[in-house]
């Protein structure tokens, strides 16, 4: 905050002017009396009779300047920031109730229509929940449910009495009562539903006047800057609330000047919710006079808490807020407490286990505080668990917040005196989120001011300090720390790699080279990158901007794989603070190029397992020539006959690869692009061809089948080169040989299946089929109690969550999601190889 230019107090006295006739030599003199000291001001020079008097005047002026400066610093501009529906406006309403005589009768009357709007929204979401969760809805109730679920614009044009009848009819439905009983914490229900529902019949009365509590629970989107000024304790507060929706965030910068503190509000209860502003179904325009805004275009659903944490990091990095104090309000702790048992936090935020409330609160606090950049590692952020609708809680928290900001202002200006002694918890505190009294615990007793600890009390103070230090050490040793991650994904959707002669969909139809990635493939890979971002950037494991000392990306030397790597990284670093869009007008918004490394196809045995390994090809051919497998192919001779007769193939080799390649083409056309196949390729023919593919695909790569045991050598030659690299990466990460924290590999379905075969988990993870486009295998390295463990996850496609598969890995125990690193290394060694000579015949 800038310090205004201050002038000394104007002296009082009797002025007289003695003019000379020399023009420019005329003098102007003033006799003054200041605190009983006489002085003369002659041509703006102050003349004193002795040094003692001069010192007295100087000291008085210094004291006056300091007092004025202190008064200036006590005028605090506090900016409320955070995502939509976090509770910012509720805090503003609390301040009006506590310090500005509340709301006028006219304002309370105007809240009636907002109250009905909130009730409409609740009923709308209940109707959608009933449709989603209640399997059997009586026929006579379906019409009402469908009407409320489709939207509420129909209710605009009816009068109030009919409107109330419609809402009362909805409340009496058995399916609604059944839904609220079974799903009281349904994730899409507005946060104020539990407050309004018990008294909704009373509220629907036309004569009902909202109470102060009703107003506090109202959800009214902030579409403009809302500013209030009030006196709080010894401070003059200028509190500014701005719209939290994404469309309004670009306007925030206009409020950043001279901000003493940023009060960032995040809803803890948003961990299982999607952004309202990207879901067109829950943003109906009910009152045109109230919400004069256009509905947003539907976008990809995003998690609200992740968006809030990402926004918090952006604000921390803002160059306009570097000198502002940051206070984090983790709001709606009451709702979070209710939801946690039935909606596990770990289902939405990777890395948390269990349902303990205090542990979950601590996890969320860390989730936000890890957004600090390396250069801000010493920056203090004060965090509190809050319930914005609880007046007592808000008053207590806001008082502590003002103390923090005022003390910071005074300290930075060399003024260190404060009458009060309230302190808030800093980012490393372990305050109990379930109580207000324990909400604010000083990070360390050693940080308390000397004036607060008498000499007699110091010896007793050391006892809890030692206990606190011991607790910190024990907690640190007991926690799990993510150390390293490596991911392997299949490229995005593509067109066929080749086709058969009579195929109606030849190269001209596709308009691009064979095997090229599609627009959907690029988009899906981008979304998979966003999913991985939520796991490893939003959690604070990696920084929000690309760093080549942390992240390495490698791709198979195939265009669709390289393009997939670029698309994935674009999603991984979406809205990167290093993006150049603000500097270069035509630069893609929020995008920064990330280097992708590759090796020539014929030399890359890690990511191209089917290329350039004569020994593996020989072993695979030998398996195809076994009696059982040949008999199986012969039993499907009609497929070869069809391909020769109708497919225009002519003579074909009687082997598995012919049917495999044919099925690969048909599958893309039928299942991916939904194209009609030629009449001679009936559903029976297609399903028969698919069953042959599923039966033989793993077998020819060394898996057990057709009375033949697994060929360990073939499995090693296909996937062992990449397994060796992954094992080496784990060893390096555990011994701190390099700083790389994230290796990403972009390759093919065969790359994933070959690696899973070496882990003995292909069939148990994927089954007989191949992985979907964008399917991702994840390997994490964790440190727990000083020991290292590995964890494996699998993401079936861009729309699926990560699922743990460690228990399915042969080298790991089947009763834990964490596998001791050394056990994994020892047990997987037999399938690991780096010798090029192993491929020689």
39 is in an annotated binding site: no
Other Cβ atoms less than 10 A from the Cβ of 132: the count is 12
> How many Cβ atoms sit within 10 Å of the Cβ of residue 189?
23
Six-digit token pair at 382?
């004060």
> Are 733 and 780 within 8 A, CB to CB?
no
CB neighbourhood size of 19 (10 A): 10
* Helices and strands (H and E) in the chain: how many: 26, 17
| H-only helix segments in 676-828 | 683-696, 712-735, 749-758, 762-765, 821-828
User: Is 390 marked within a binding site?
Assistant: no
150 is in an annotated binding site: no
Tell me if 220 is assigned to a ligand binding site: yes
How far, in Å, CA of 220 to CA of 208, rounded?
19
Residue 388 annotated as lining a ligand binding site: yes
Residue 737 assigned as binding residue:
no
What sign does the CA torsion over 832, 835, 836, 839 have? negative
822 appears as a binding residue in the annotation: no
Q: Which two tokens stand for residue 188?
A: 């899409």
The single residue listed with the structure tokens 């404060």 is: 418
To the question of whether residue 89 is assigned a binding role by annotation, the answer is: yes
Q: What distance in Å separates the CA atoms of residue 358 and residue 433, rounded to the nearest whole number?
A: 6
Q: Confirm or deny that 218 is annotated as ligand binding.
A: yes
First to last CA, the chain: 75
Is 221 annotated as ligand-binding? yes
364 is in an annotated binding site: no
Token pair belonging to 708: 């033949």
222 is in an annotated binding site: yes
Q: Is there a binding annotation on residue 524?
A: no
Q: φ and ψ at 303, to 5 degrees? A: -70, 130
Identify the H or E element spanning 457.
helix 455-478
The closest alpha carbon to 212, from 334, 87, 105, 97, belongs to 97
From the list 480, 485, 483, the residue with the least C-alpha distance to 784 is 480
Residues 747, 176: Cα–Cα separation, whole Å? 49
Handedness of CA 387, 392, 395, 397 (dihedral sign): negative
The C-alpha atoms of residue 687 and residue 668 are separated, in whole angstroms, by: 14
3-state helix, strand, coil in the chain (%, to 5): 45, 15, 40
Q: Are 421 and 367 in contact (CB under 8 A)?
A: no
Rounded-to-integer distance, Cα 833 and Cα 721, Å = 5
Whole-angstrom Cα distance, residue 454 to residue 448? 11
Residue 244 known to bind ligand:
yes
Question: According to the annotation, is 328 in a ligand binding site?
Answer: no
149 three-state secondary structure = helix
Helix (H, G, I), strand (E, B) or coil at 840: coil
E strand or H helix at 47: strand 45-47
SS3 621: helix
DSSP string, 522-583: HHHHHHHHHHHHHHHTTTSSS-SS--TTTEEEEE-SSHHHHHHHHHHHHHHTTT-TT--TTT
Compute CA 269 distance to the chain's CA centroid, rounded to the nearest angstrom. 14
State how far the Cα of 479 lies from the Cα of 364, in Å rounded to an integer: 15
Question: Is 486 annotated for ligand binding?
Answer: no
Q: In this structure, what are the phi and psi dihedrals at residue 365, rounded to the nearest 5 degrees?
A: -60, -45
Closest to 511 measured CA to CA, from 502, 501, 523, 519: 519
Positive or negative: CA dihedral 157, 162, 167, 169: negative
Cβ neighbors of 390 (< 8 A, separation 6 or more) are: 334
What is the distance between the alpha carbons of residues 127 and 108, in angstroms, rounded to a whole number? Answer: 29
Q: Report yes or no: 98 and 391 within 8 Å, Cβ to Cβ.
A: yes
How many Å apart are CA 506 and CA 502, to the nearest integer? 9
**Distance (Å) of CA 177 to CA 163, 181, 338, 416:** 20, 6, 19, 59
Binding-site entries for GTP: 216-222, 241-245, 331-334, 388
> Where is the binding site for Mg(2+), in residues?
89, 222
Known binding-site positions? 89, 216-222, 241-245, 331-334, 388
């Amino acid at each position: 905050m800038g310090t205004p230019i201050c002038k000394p107090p104007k002296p009082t006295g009797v002025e007289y002017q003695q003019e000379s006739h020399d023009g420019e030599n005329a003098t102007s003199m003033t006799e003054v009396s200041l605190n009983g000291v006489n002085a003369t001001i002659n041509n703006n020079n102050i003349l004193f009779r002795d040094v003692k008097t001069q010192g007295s005047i100087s000291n008085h002026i210094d004291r006056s300047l300091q007092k004025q400066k202190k008064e200036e610093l006590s005028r605090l501009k506090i900016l409320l920031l955070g995502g939509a529906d976090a509770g910012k406006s509720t805090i503003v309403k609390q301040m009006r109730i506590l310090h500005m005589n509340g709301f006028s009768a006219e304002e309370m009357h105007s809240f009636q229509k907002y109250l009905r709007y909130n009730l409409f929204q609740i009923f709308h979401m209940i109707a959608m929940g009933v449709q989603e969760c209640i399997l059997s809805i009586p026929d006579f109730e379906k019409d009402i449910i469908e009407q409320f679920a489709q939207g509420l614009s129909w209710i605009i044009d009816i009068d109030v009495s009919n409107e109330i009848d419609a809402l009362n009819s909805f409340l009496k439905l058995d399916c609604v009562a059944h839904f609220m009983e079974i799903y009281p914490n349904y994730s899409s229900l507005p946060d104020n539903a539990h407050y309004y529902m018990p008294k909704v019949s009373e509220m629907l009365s036309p004569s009902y006047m909202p109470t102060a509590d009703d107003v506090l629970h109202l959800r009214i989107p902030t579409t403009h800057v809302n500013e209030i000024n009030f006196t709080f304790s010894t401070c003059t507060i200028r509190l500014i609330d701005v719209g939290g929706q994404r469309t309004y965030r670009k306007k925030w910068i206009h409020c950043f000047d001279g901000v003493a503190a940023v009060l960032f509000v995040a809803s803890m209860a948003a961990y299982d919710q999607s952004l309202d502003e990207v879901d067109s179904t829950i943003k109906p325009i009910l009152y045109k006079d109230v919400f004069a805004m256009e509905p947003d275009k539907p976008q990809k659903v995003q998690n609200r808490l992740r968006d809030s944490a990402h926004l918090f990091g952006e604000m921390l990095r803002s160059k306009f807020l570097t000198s502002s104090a940051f206070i984090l309000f983790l709001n709606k702790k009451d709702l979070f407490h209710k939801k946690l048992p039935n909606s596990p936090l770990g289902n939405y935020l990777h890395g948390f286990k269990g349902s303990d409330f205090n542990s979950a609160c601590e996890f969320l606090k860390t989730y936000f505080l890890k957004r600090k950049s390396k250069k801000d590692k010493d920056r203090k952020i004060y965090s509190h668990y809050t319930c914005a609708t609880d007046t007592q809680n808000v008053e207590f928290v806001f008082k502590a917040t003002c103390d923090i900001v005022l003390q910071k202002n005074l300290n930075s200006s060399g003024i260190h005196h404060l009458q009060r002694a309230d302190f808030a918890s800093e980012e490393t505190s372990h305050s109990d989120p379930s109580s207000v009294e324990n909400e604010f615990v000083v990070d360390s007793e050693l940080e308390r001011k000397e004036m607060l600890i008498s000499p007699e009390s110091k010896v007793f103070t050391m006892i809890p300090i030692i206990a606190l230090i011991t607790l910190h050490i024990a907690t640190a040793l007991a926690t799990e720390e993510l150390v390293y991650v490596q991911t392997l994904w299949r490229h995005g959707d593509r067109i066929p790699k080749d086709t058969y002669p009579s195929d109606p969909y030849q190269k001209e139809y596709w308009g691009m080279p064979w095997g090229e990635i599609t627009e959907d493939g690029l988009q899906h890979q981008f979304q998979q990158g966003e999913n991985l971002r939520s796991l490893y950037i939003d959690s604070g494991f990696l920084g929000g901007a690309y760093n080549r000392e942390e992240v390495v990306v490698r791709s198979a030397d195939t265009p669709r794989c390289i393009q997939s790597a670029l698309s994935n990284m674009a999603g991984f670093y979406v809205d990167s603070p290093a993006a150049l869009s603000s500097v270069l007008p035509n630069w893609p918004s929020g995008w920064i190029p990330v280097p992708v490394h590759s090796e020539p196809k014929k030399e890359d045995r890690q990511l191209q397992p089917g290329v350039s390994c004569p020994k593996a090809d020989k072993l695979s051919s030998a398996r195809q020539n076994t009696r059982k497998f040949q008999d199986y192919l012969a039993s499907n001779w009609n497929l070869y006959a069809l391909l020769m007769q109708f497919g225009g193939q002519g003579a074909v080799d009687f082997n598995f690869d012919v049917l495999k390649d044919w099925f690969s083409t048909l599958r893309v056309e039928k299942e991916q692009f939904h194209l009609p196949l030629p009449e001679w390729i009936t559903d029976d023919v297609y399903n028969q061809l698919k069953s042959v593919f599923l039966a033989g695909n793993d077998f020819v790569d060394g898996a057990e089948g057709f009375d033949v045991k697994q060929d360990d050598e073939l499995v090693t030659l296909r996937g062992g080169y990449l397994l060796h690299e992954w094992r080496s990466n784990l060893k390096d990460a555990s011994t701190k040989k390099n700083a790389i924290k994230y290796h990403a590999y972009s390759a093919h379905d065969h790359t994933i299946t070959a690696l899973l075969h070496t882990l003995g988990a292909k069939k148990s993870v994927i089954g007989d089929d191949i992985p979907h486009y964008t399917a991702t295998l994840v390997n994490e390295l964790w440190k727990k109690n000083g020991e290292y463990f590995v964890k494996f996850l699998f993401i079936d496609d861009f729309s699926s969550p990560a699922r743990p598969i460690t228990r399915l890995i042969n080298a790991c125990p089947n009763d834990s999601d964490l596998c001791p690193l050394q056990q994994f290394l020892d047990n997987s060694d037999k399938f690991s190889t780096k010798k090029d000579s192993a491929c020689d015949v």
